[in-house]
């Protein structure tokens, strides 16, 4: 597969996805409103968990904002494969695969598309958080780190979702897979609760959970005095996971074609 076509093809295919999104204003509104609801709802519901002994940090809305950013990314990139399934059902996928389109670009465009919506969603969440009283001591660098973590996580999970779509090929199976993966992964992280209040085994699992890496890196970077070594190692881990899942998912095109 030619690497010379990877970049231009990623551009063309991303353009296609973004145009399609912009033609569905209702979908755009929902993707922006949903994280606001989470932030405000959970922010109210769990307001007093900070009083639990062992809970570190100040106000819950400060704690929650990076958690909601990461959960939003996780849930929306988990659905990325739906676009593949639509393409398969219609015949677009077969047309693409018998054309010289770069397979890597088919995967990368989905990730870039997710990254764009992740960025917009994150900005909205940050602003809503601000209005709800969150303070971001880490300032702009902290926010950029959070954005980077969110984009890397989006890359990993959109690739995973696309790869699964190529293997299972039905909406139902992909919905099942996505739900089965994203819900536990977000609850096995510190997205909503401080890990120190959770049982030991959850703390152990969370240490290996890329969702938790994204949350911890973001929260650290947004704190008044970030421990940057904690941030970088997690970002590096996320980048590695995104690359590996992207590579594996691109391999899934072969298995899809074998079964045709």
Partner 1 sequence: MTVHLGAATAAPDTRSAYAIEASDLVKTYGDVKALDGFGFAVPAGTVFGLLGPNGAGKSTTIKILTTLTEATSGAATVAGYDVRRQPDAVRRAIGVVTQRHGTDPQATGRENLLLAGRIHGLRGRTVKARADELLGRFGLTDAAGRVVRTYSGGMQRRLDVAMGLMHRPDVLFLDEPTTGLDPEARAEMWAEIARMAGDEGMTVLLTTHYLEEADHLADHLVIVDRGRLVAEGTPEQLKSGLHGDAVVVELAAESDLAAARKAIDAVAGTTETVVEGRSLRARVDHGATAVPAVLTALESVGAPVAAITVARPSLDDVYLRHTGRTFAAAEEGEDR
Residues that bind partner 1 (CB under 8 A): 1-2, 8-9, 12-13, 16, 19-20, 23-24, 87, 90-92, 94-95, 97-101, 257-258, 260
Q: Given the complex with partner 1, which of 89 and 137 has the nearer CB atom?
A: 89
Query: What DSSP letter does each residue of 147-199 carry, written as one string?
Result: HHHHHHHHHHHHHHHHHHHHHH-SHHHHHHHHHHHHHHHHHTTTSSS-GGGS-
Taking the complex as a whole, how short is the minimal distance between the CB of residue 18 and partner 1, in angstroms?
Answer: 11
Q: What angle do CA 135, 136, 138 make, to 5 degrees?
A: 150
Taking the complex as a whole, how short is the minimal distance between the CB of residue 223 and partner 1, in angstroms?
Answer: 42
CA-CA-CA-CA dihedral for 84, 168, 72, 184, to nearest 10: -170
Give the max Cα distance, the chain: 60
Taking the complex as a whole, how short is the minimal distance between the CB of residue 95 and partner 1, in angstroms?
Answer: 3
Q: Given the complex with partner 1, which of 13 and 188 has the nearer CB atom?
A: 13
Taking the complex as a whole, how short is the minimal distance between the CB of residue 19 and partner 1, in angstroms?
Answer: 6
Q: Given the complex with partner 1, which of 26 and 140 has the nearer CB atom?
A: 26
Taking the complex as a whole, how short is the minimal distance between the CB of residue 105 and partner 1, in angstroms?
Answer: 9
Half-sphere exposure of 248 (CA within 13 A, CB side): 17
Taking the complex as a whole, how short is the minimal distance between the CB of residue 175 and partner 1, in angstroms?
Answer: 20
Q: Given the complex with partner 1, which of 75 and 256 has the nearer CB atom?
A: 256
Q: Given the complex with partner 1, which of 97 and 239 has the nearer CB atom?
A: 97
Taking the complex as a whole, how short is the minimal distance between the CB of residue 61 and partner 1, in angstroms?
Answer: 37
Q: Given the complex with partner 1, which of 140 and 260 has the nearer CB atom?
A: 260
Q: Given the complex with partner 1, which of 87 and 194 has the nearer CB atom?
A: 87
């Amino acid at each position: 597969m030619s690497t010379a076509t990877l970049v231009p093809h990623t551009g063309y295919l991303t353009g296609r996805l973004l145009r399609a999104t912009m033609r569905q204003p209702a979908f755009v509104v929902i993707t922006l409103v949903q994280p606001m609801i989470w932030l405000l709802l959970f922010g109210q519901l769990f307001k007093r968990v900070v009083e639990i002994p062992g809970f570190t940090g100040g106000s819950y809305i400060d704690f929650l904002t990076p958690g909601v950013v990461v959960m939003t990314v996780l849930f929306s990139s988990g659905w990325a494969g739906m676009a593949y399934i639509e393409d398969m059902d219609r015949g677009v996928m077969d047309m693409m695969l018998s054309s010289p389109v770069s397979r890597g670009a088919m995967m990368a465009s989905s990730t870039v598309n997710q990254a764009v919506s992740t960025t917009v969603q994150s900005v909205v969440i940050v602003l809503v958080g601000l209005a709800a009283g969150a303070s971001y001591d880490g300032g702009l660098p902290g926010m950029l780190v959070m954005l980077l973590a969110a984009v890397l996580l989006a890359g990993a999970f959109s690739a995973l979702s696309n790869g699964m779509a190529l293997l299972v090929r039905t909406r139902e199976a992909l919905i099942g897979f996505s739900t089965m993966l994203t819900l536990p992964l977000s609850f096995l992280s510190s997205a909503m609760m401080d890990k120190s209040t959770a049982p030991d085994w959850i703390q152990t699992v969370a240490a290996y959970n890329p969702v938790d890496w994204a949350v911890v890196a973001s929260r650290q970077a947004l704190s008044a005095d970030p421990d940057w070594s904690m941030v970088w190692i997690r970002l590096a881990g996320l980048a590695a996971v995104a690359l590996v899942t992207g590579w594996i998912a691109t391999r899934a095109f072969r298995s899809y074609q074998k079964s045709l």
